Amino acid sequence: MQSTTAHSDIIAVKDPSAYITKDRQTLRGKRVGPILHLADERARLAQLTWNHFDIKRLGATIGAEISGVDLTTNLPQPVIDDIRQALHEYKVIFFRNQPVTTQQHVDFAARFGELEIHPFIPSNTGQPELVRFEKSFDVKGYENTWHQDVTWRECPSLGAVLHAIHVPESGGDTLFCDMYAAYEGLTDEQREFVDSHDAEHDFVQSFGKQVAPDQMDAMRAKYPVVVHPLAPTHAATGRKYLYCNPVFLSRIIGVDEAESDRWLTELWRESDNVEYQCRFHWEPDSIAFWDNRACQHYASSDYWPEIRIMERASIVGGRPTR
């Protein structure tokens, strides 16, 4: 039996949490306490097995590092099918030590669908399907905000494959957030709102400065403001996810501007729950492959003035629907 030593300063006989009767409480506008709805998904993922590779899970419900596959080779279709399924299950998957060429990068991503051409981010020389993020002393990182990519498209990305070309020894991590968990963790009032409202998405908010005035009408015609649900249903899994990022989302339809801004702020904060997240530390030739519907991502901008170079191939998706 473990002995205890009495002390006059100690009055407690239980852990402080034993006195709390509510699972979630509000503290200065933020909900705190155990996030119990993750338990079933965490347990389900723990039971999964794979035929063609090994995995190591990162977060409670999101993220897995895959080993035992070589992305520099032409993988057999059953392996590709298993990778696709792993993407659906873990929302984002990671690979280490994959020195792919630009062509191999494009070829691997194309196994999962048609690839996007991004009009506002320069491509790698000779590979228009690749966009290059090259940060340095002069070019700083501004991707340190929770978002899903290109939601201003009528058909946003299904997913993206990001390859680390040059990374700092420390810093420059990327974080990912499970947007199924974010949706399922909403209050009843919040869930009723997102289930019944749509929002406008617009490229101008982030990329408008790159468009010359005499080109704006043509770009507007090509990429008009689009409307997507705040809580679409994933085409492959049938699960609802939260689809809200003020990087590209301009306003919620059906409410006035003040209420739209209030809801945007409130819903965007759901990604701040660390229990919904995983964090990936990059090494040279690491690769991340994320489901652009099921998760948001955040590129930590803590490495200036060091160099960070990444290349991304994105896969065309379908239009988000309820």
How is the beta sheet containing 174-178 ordered, strand by strand?
277-280, 174-178, 295-299
Structure letter (DSSP) for residue 196:
T
82 with 52: CB under 8 angstroms?
yes
Write out the two tokens for 243: 């689809």
Task: Kindly state the helix (H) or strand (E) to which residue 197 belongs, with its residue range.
Answer: none
Q: Which residues pair with 313 in a beta bridge?
A: 130, 161
Q: Just list the catalytic residues.
A: 147, 149, 297, 312
Q: Tell which residue, 113, 260, 281, 123, has the closest CA to residue 198.
A: 260
Integer Cα distance of 225 and 50 in angstroms:
41
Residue pair 239/233 in contact by the 8 Å Cβ criterion: yes
Q: Are strands 295-299 and 174-178 parallel, antiparallel or unpaired?
A: antiparallel
- Cα dihedral 161, 165, 167, 173 in deg (nearest 10): 0
Helices (H), the chain: 39-46, 77-90, 102-110, 179-184, 188-195, 204-207, 216-222, 257-268
With CA atoms as reference, report the closest residue to 269 among 202, 185, 197.
185
